[in-house]
Structure 1
Amino acid sequence: MREFKAGKSPAIFLDETSVFDIGACVVDGINIAPGRAIPDDGDARIDHSLEGFLFTCGPDHIRHPEPIENDAAGRTYPLHGSFSSHPAEITTWEVSDDNAHAAVRVPLTLADGGTALLERQWRIDGATGIVSLEDRVTNTSDTARPVFHMYHMNVGARLFDDGVRLQGAMFEDGGFGWRFGEEPGGVFCVPAGEGWAEMTLGPIAAIGGRTLKVAFHTETLPYLQMWRNQQAPAHVMGIEPVSHRWVGRAELEAAGEFHMLNPGEFRTYGLRFSIL
């Protein structure tokens, strides 16, 4: 893990072994990632990624495993797709007290035998503490393929009290307490709006009353999925900007909602967050 920080930002630790996702996210000495308070889905890649603050799903699949189309062996796409566990090749690393910039290339081998390239850039504005992520995913295969994308931002709910709320224009009545749905957890997925969608989680008394603010570009991430799991030993909440509705691949394809990339074509995604 490489520490990445500037000015007012939290200290985030970027995972060179897994697409430069975020492992620990430290605010005033407290790691707000869930750590081992996560469900065990039986996939070591995801087990490793889920304990961190942010990991990336796709580009060949998101959510839980489903059959690979026309696969004679009956294989499935892996849990949350093929991104996790691909090592990153660092091309830029510039860190100062004022600003920070890191860039990587991640050649990807997909579950169906295709290939893709993730080009990822992290930036920090030290004056505002805003951490920004820009991703470009290119189809390097020799045939057209659909592309999917989801960011899991995972927060340790051990830090929450009853004062913590979700707020954003995409939520019913503009927001509600963090214990949405029935116990011990649940999932929902809603349209995120247009332009840069914004939502907040807080205030979090355990880190000095700070609030996590998340924004993402809805041109390619038009939905926000929210997940929480308090089924012991799990104690985690996920903020999940996502490219597709919460339905199966077959339904998405039938509705014409696959985003197809021809060889050499790419799709971009943008996210930013602050904890202030």
Structure 2
Amino acid sequence: MTFALTADNAAHVFDLALDPQSVLDIRDAIFRNVNLAPGSAIPSDGDPRIDRALPGFLFTCGPDHIRHPEPVEGAPDGRRYPLHGSYSSHPAKDILIEEDENEAVCSARVRTDLANGETAELARRWHADRVTGDIRLDDSVTNTGNGPWPPVAMYHMNINTRLFDDRTKLTGAMLPGGELPWRFADGDVSIFCVPAGDAATDGWAEIAIGPIASLGGRSLHVKFRVDTLPYLQVWRNQSPGCHVMGIEPVSNRLASRAELIAAGEMPDFAPGESVDYALAFSVR
């Protein structure tokens, strides 16, 4: 399924290919004929769900787990939460597309079976402003199971770093000194996670990566709600065959589940309760 955005101003042309077989995440994100997604230039952790998701421009972690596998609390059979949680490979249902000359909207629902035996439902809404070129995602996650569990979320926005050059940098108020070179730190692989709440304006934080020469010197700008996504994680991988950076708004700091639960940073929500997340991006 292709969700196309063509703005009135020729400077804003974004074509998004959404994946109805995996949470309506974004496969390709093509701006003025340049695909920002990394495609095959990604690592493999051996999980076929994530091998399908990671080549795309955006995939969603959660709602029961983020990051790498860890044991399911209290499970007698030694079950583990899967890599990046249970969302990936869950199909979208009730897909509805509405559009006119000013905007396009794609909404859907995703019923998710969780690793802890519970269930959740994601109500997802993509909105494209055809005048400004801005793309916004609004998610609402509801506990549809029989018991409480702690919701978590991470949005992996993956970019092909072969598009970058020595002028490209990360810019954002949450970063040390306000900016970092895109090849931050030494080595082929690096990751950091920083609080973003103090960098917010009207409840939203923003980070940019650019300039990107193939986008006409423009930058990719990413905004996210900090009430439920209070951290920003950034990951890059330039190991042999890999050319990818992830800009990742996330609900929790970089720590184990046991540490986060013990610190009260992963509170449960009860059956019937919901939690909302939102992010937006544009090229300008």
The TM-score range, normalised by the shorter chain, is over 0.9
For 2:28 and 2:139, how far apart are their aligned partners in 1? 20
**Which runs of 5 or more structure 1 residues have no equivalent in the other structure?**
none
For 1:15 and 1:97, how far apart are their aligned partners in 2? 24
For 2:122 and 2:86, how far apart are their aligned partners in 1? 11
Judge which range, 187-196 or 222-231, deviates more: 187-196
Q: Is the 8 A contact 1:9 1:275 kept in 2?
A: no
Of residues 208, 213, 235, the one that matches 1:205 is: 213
SS at match of 2:155: strand
Deviations 1:135-155 (A, max 9, x none): 000000111111000000000
For 1:119 and 1:180, how far apart are their aligned partners in 2? 36
| Alignment partner of 1:62 is 2:66 | yes
Q: CA deviation at 1:9?
A: 4.4
Aligned residue in 2 for 1:21:
25
Aligned residue in 1 for 2:3:
3
SS at match of 1:17: coil
Q: Is the 8 A contact 1:9 1:274 kept in 2?
A: no
| Alignment partner of 1:47 is 2:51 | yes
Q: CA deviation at 1:229?
A: 0.3
Judge which range, 93-102 or 168-177, deviates more: 93-102
SS at match of 1:37: coil
* CA RMSD in angstroms, aligned pairs only: 1.0
For 1:6 and 1:120, how far apart are their aligned partners in 2? 21
Aligned residue in 1 for 2:260:
252
Q: CA deviation at 1:6?
A: 3.6
Aligned residue in 2 for 1:37:
41
Q: Is the 8 A contact 1:120 1:133 kept in 2?
A: yes
Q: CA deviation at 1:238?
A: 0.2
Q: Is the 8 A contact 1:137 1:267 kept in 2?
A: yes
| Alignment partner of 1:146 is 2:154 | no
SS at match of 2:127: strand
For 1:142 and 1:132, how far apart are their aligned partners in 2? 32
Of residues 176, 188, 194, the one that matches 1:190 is: 194
Q: Is the 8 A contact 2:261 2:267 kept in 1?
A: no
Deviations 1:74-111 (A, max 9, x none): 11100000011000013420133421011100011011
SS at match of 2:261: helix
State the AA in 2 paired with 1:151.
Y
SS at match of 1:146: coil
| Alignment partner of 1:237 is 2:248 | no
Pairs aligned (count): 276
| Alignment partner of 1:162 is 2:166 | yes
Q: Which aligned segments of 4 or more residues in structure 1 are displaced greater than 3 angstroms?
A: none
Aligned residue in 2 for 1:214:
222
Judge which range, 97-106 or 13-22, deviates more: 97-106
Of residues 267, 272, 278, the one that matches 1:270 is: 278
**Which runs of 5 or more structure 2 residues have no equivalent in the other structure?**
none
Matches within 5 A, 1:48-197: 48-193=52-197, 194=200, 195-197=203-205
For 1:181 and 1:226, how far apart are their aligned partners in 2? 12
- What is the percent sequence identity of the aligned residues? 53
TM-score (norm 2): 0.95
SS at match of 1:253: helix
Q: CA deviation at 1:30?
A: 1.6
